[in-house]
Structure 1
Amino acid sequence: MAPLAALSFGRSSSARFGSRTTSFNSPRVLSRRKWLPYSASPSLTSIASILFLSSLAFALYLFAFRRIPATSPEFFFGPGQDCDVFAGSWVPDDTYPLYNSSECPFAERGFNCLANGRTDTGYLRWRWKPSNCDVPRFDAREALSRLRGKRIVFVGDSMSRTQWESLICMLMTGVDDKQSVYEVNGSKISKTIGFLGVRFRGFNLSVEFFRSVFLVQQGLPPKQGPKRVQSTLKLDKLDRMNKRWMDSDVLIFNSGHWWTATKLFDMGCYFQVDGLLRLGLPITAAFKMALETWASWVEMMVNTNRTHVFLRTFEPSHWSDSNQKVCEITQQPTSEAKGDDRSEFGDIITEVVGKMRASVTVLNVTLMGKFRSDAHVGTWSHPASILDCSHWCLPGVPDAWNELLLSSLFANEWRKFGR
């Protein structure tokens, strides 16, 4: 058997970010570092001191940008000792897709491209392959067994809802009695509904979605404000629904797609901090402030010894023009990473999460999506008049996010999670 590879969600300054963070003073982490020996020679004291300080700085750098969690032998495997699961490529695999979206009542019609008239099926038969290891084949029954009694919560925009739908459809393939899986309020999937919760009765498992496109509060503008201000984002206040997120075993957040001038300023929505309007605040600066508010909430309100917190990065779009009116879908993944990845948001996530004391795993799916101009909804939307080069068909790319999500849970936390 090939040597086991360690799963890496290590942070870096560009496209490869992500792992659970830990205090620099953590004995568990420091014990893993190999410090250079200090020279005892009096004549070399100054040189040794410089070398020691340099090695110390380098070790701290490695800790901050490259932490490698422990891995269960049952999961990520391969020839290397280090595996960044977000660096890799899509490989053809005829055992995919993992489910039939037409047989899953929780797959939104707007994402079911085959049902909406797409005739080519090649986009369904690709698997994400990390460069230095393999991700194990998804096993629905094994996953359900490990998730028994858990509560999984997705918080974010429509991309988060797509991942929520994907996970439910993946897990349903392991359920014999499909009627035992139901939405707790009898609600149908809606683009505007604030809460959707699906329960797997036979496994006492809940998979929930909370719509919070900005993560922070959106409300009325202060009195005596300019007429153009119709609403505000309170960057220093988390969404009012946040109390409903805390009592969970897994929390997966995303944001970014609504942080555009079109969805903010053109709609009369501006920023507010400490009750004061910040009309000249750039969108990227506002996003950072909102993310810092979220980070503070996680540190103060979430017990990360119990709750596994994930933050997913921006998913690239592949519009052929800046006005989002031309969408050309390719027949297969591109050989080069292309698309609008809003890299400035990735840099902000790296910076904010890198400063957190709480354990947070960043799911860096940005690069994965940049190859998949074939997997967008395109003209196969519902209704058909909607052109979409942002969202993904189901089955499709979001399934790979969930494969990494579940494998991360079962591998890195296997001694505590689902055992």
Structure 2
Amino acid sequence: KRAIEDLEVLKFSLFLVGSLLNVGEIRCRSTSFNRRALNAESPRVLNVSSPKALNVLSAKPLCFTSSRVYHRLGWVSRLFPVLILIGALISFIILLHGGYIYVLPSLSQAFYGHGVLKFNDSSNVCDIFDGSWVIDDDYPFYNASDCPFAEQGFNCLGNGRKDRDYLKWRWKPKNCDIPRFNVHNVLEMLRDKRIVFVGDSMSRTQWESLICLLMTGVEDKKSVYEVNGNKITKRIRFLGVRFTSFNFTIEFFRSVFLVQHGWMPRHAPKRVRSTLKLDKLDDVSNEWINADVLIFNTGQWWVPGKLFETGCYFQVGNSVKLGMSIPAGFKMALGTWASWVENTIDTNRTLVFFRTFEPSHWSEKSRRFCNVTQNPLLETEGRDRSIFSETIFEVIKNMTVPITVLQVTSMSAFRRDAHVGGWSDNPMVPDCSHWCLPGLPDIWNEIFLSYLLANYGLPAVNGKQCEFILFLISLLQLLSFVIYAVHSLICMFQPECKHLRGLMT
């Protein structure tokens, strides 16, 4: 902005110089004309000592039209087209470079699907979740210690992890490329929107990851805050972070089963301490309705240790289903969720996502031993398939409204290296379920954001690009004023400059 202001001052100064030189040129021509007229009227040679001769020869302003000055300045006239050519080439190079760096990406994204997927072959068929992990030194995009919304328990580096290899892996689909994360484009895209995550602690990890990613593009960090002043913790059912400068919020609702969890009904067997009401969505579901984007997940709590072993069984209506299996209960709960979405959510306004089950990497079923590797696995060891993920696909396939499935199960199955392990805020309890931040959840968010870009599109031009374009325009205007000033100067010294008119045009 200061550069543009300086250019404006310089342009105005050059304009004044050119105008003054033009005035001088006109007066010089007027004097020359008067002299020629006087010579025509009196062809005799004047005596320079006469007062009349002195009046003619001392006309003002002084004009350098003598033959000696003319020949001395002739080289300027000859070099002027060369100077114009050099200036034009420099301007063209600046424009070409600036356009390539700033403008061309936005134009290509506008014409080719907003840069969501770049195809690598002619098939134009891309399964974004079919690919492999490749090293990329551009990662990570943030430091969890600098992000106040990243839980200490997920900050593996801050908790003493020494190796950093797990931070450098990028997901590469086979036939296409995921667009590079551009924080300024994403911030503009999310302006005036409400993003809502609903699920368990894995959903909260992705929520924290997204906030930390976006904070890298915010200059005033204090303008980003939790709406209720709460500290980020798993004990709070609702967390909401507001980005004041862009007027959007990213919220998290803790709903580990998506359906209602209630206390023991009357006349239930003694072993029943609580129930999951599979036919009723969570009682906070009304808070999800007016979101612009909804991202659901569930699965980690659908295990015997979180259900039957704690005395929690399934309930449909007033009936407790003691014999219902977990997969059957999970499918019924998803059916309740699907009906709620179809009947309650306006999918013309709200984009709905469902993220699939994230595999854990415990060394055995008791979940007491956690072996975190330094690099991703070469094989998925069977963790790329999950009954929960298959059920999600089956239910969503039969829905009447569009739902985007983020199929992270298979890609995450390779990442034994990305778990918290023994680098949590409680190192005595190993963790091969949750993920380090920064880490794998950042990749989930890159994929999620690529889908958002496909739906919302990129902003036409962001603020920094706009300033750069204004600078280029001012630079071109400055060049035109330089040419104008130089032209006026040469024409002052050399009135016969008609051959320059075409170049000026």
TM-score by length of 2: 0.68
Write the letter of the residue equivalent to 1:269.
C
Aligned position for 1:133: 176
Which among 106, 111, 115 is matched to residue 74 of structure 1? 115
Look up the match of 1:366.
409
Q: Contact 1:156/1:214 (CA < 8 Å) preserved in 2?
A: yes
Partner residue of 2:13? none
In the alignment, residue 119 of structure 2 is paired with which amino acid? G
Does the 8 Å CA contact 1:316/1:339 hold for their aligned counterparts?
Answer: no
CA deviation string 1:49-75 (max 9, x = no partner): xxxxxxxxxxxxxxxxxxxxx961433
For the structure 1 residues 73 and 212, does the alpha-carbon distance in structure 2 shift closer, same or farther, using more than 3 Å as the test?
A: closer
- CA displacement 1:111-161 (0-9 Å, x = unmatched): 000011000001001111111111111011110011100000000000000
- Give distance in 1, aligned partners of 2:459 and 2:182: 20
Deviation (angstroms), 1:340: 4.0
Please tell me whether residue 391 in structure 1 is matched to residue 391 in structure 2: no
Q: Secondary structure at the match of 1:141?
A: helix
Contact 2:261 2:274 in 1 (8 A): yes
Aligned to 1:108: 151
Q: How do 1:7-406 residues align onto structure 2 when only pairs under 5 Å count? A: 72-80=113-121, 81-338=124-381, 340=383, 343-406=386-449
Distance 1:416 1:263 in 2: 45
Partner SS, residue 219 of structure 1 = strand
Match of 1:83, SS state, is coil
Whose Rg is larger?
2
Could you tell me whether the CA contact under 8 Å between 1:147 and 1:418 is conserved in 2?
A: no
State the Cα distance separating 1:368 from its structure 2 match. Answer: 1.1
Contact 1:197 1:207 (8 Å CA) reproduced: yes
Opposite residue 216 of structure 2, the aligned amino acid is T
Relative distance call for 1:144 and 1:270 in structure 2 (3 A) is same
Q: What's the secondary structure of 2:119's corresponding residue?
A: coil
Uncovered stretches (5+) of structure 1, i.e. residues with no partner: 1-69
Per-residue CA deviation, residues 352-407 of structure 1 (Å, 9 max, x unaligned), is: 00000011000000011111000000000111112100110000000011001011
SS in 2 for 1:233: strand
Letter in 2 for 1:93: D
Secondary structure of residue in 1 paired with 2:341: helix
Q: Deviations over 1:26-85 (max 9, x none)?
A: xxxxxxxxxxxxxxxxxxxxxxxxxxxxxxxxxxxxxxxxxxxx9614331022301111
- 2-structure distance, mates of 1:405, 1:212: 20
- Contact 1:183 / 1:197 at 8 angstroms: preserved in 2? yes
* Deviation sequence 1:231-258 (CA, Å, 0-9, x none): 0000000000000001000000000110
Which whole-Å CA distance do the structure 2 matches of 1:374 and 1:125 have between them?
11
Kindly indicate whether the alpha-carbon contact (under 8 Å) linking 1:319 and 1:389 is maintained by their aligned counterparts in 2. Answer: yes
Q: Residues of 1 paired with 2:460 and 2:233: CA distance? A: 32
Distance 1:133 1:340 in 2: 24
Identity of aligned residues (%): 61
Q: Is the 8 A contact 2:189 2:456 kept in 1?
A: no
Work out the CA distance in 1 between the residues paired with 2:277 and 2:216. Answer: 41
Shift, 1:304, TM fit: 0.5
TM (norm. structure 1) is 0.81
Structure with more helix by fraction: 2
In 1: Cα distance, 2:212 partner to 2:459 partner: 25
Gaps of 5+ in 2: 1-110, 463-505
Whether the aligned pair in 1 keeps the contact of 2:377 and 2:415 (CA below 8 Å) is: yes
SS at match of 1:359: coil
Cα contact 2:385–2:410 (8 A) shared by 1: no
Structure 2: which amino acid aligns with 1:357?
Answer: T
RMSD, aligned CA: 1.8
Q: Is the Cα–Cα contact under 8 Å of residues 232 and 269 in structure 1 kept in the other structure?
A: yes
For residues 175 and 260 of structure 1, what CA distance do their matches in structure 2 show?
40
CA distance in 2, matches of 1:304, 1:75: 21
Cα deviation per residue 1:169-190 (whole Å; 9 max; x = unaligned)?
A: 0000000000000000000011
How far the C-alpha of 1:413 sits from its partner, in A, is 4.4
Find the residue that maps to 1:240 and give its secondary structure. Answer: coil
Question: What is the match of residue 55 of structure 1?
Answer: none
Task: Report the count of equivalent residues.
Answer: 350
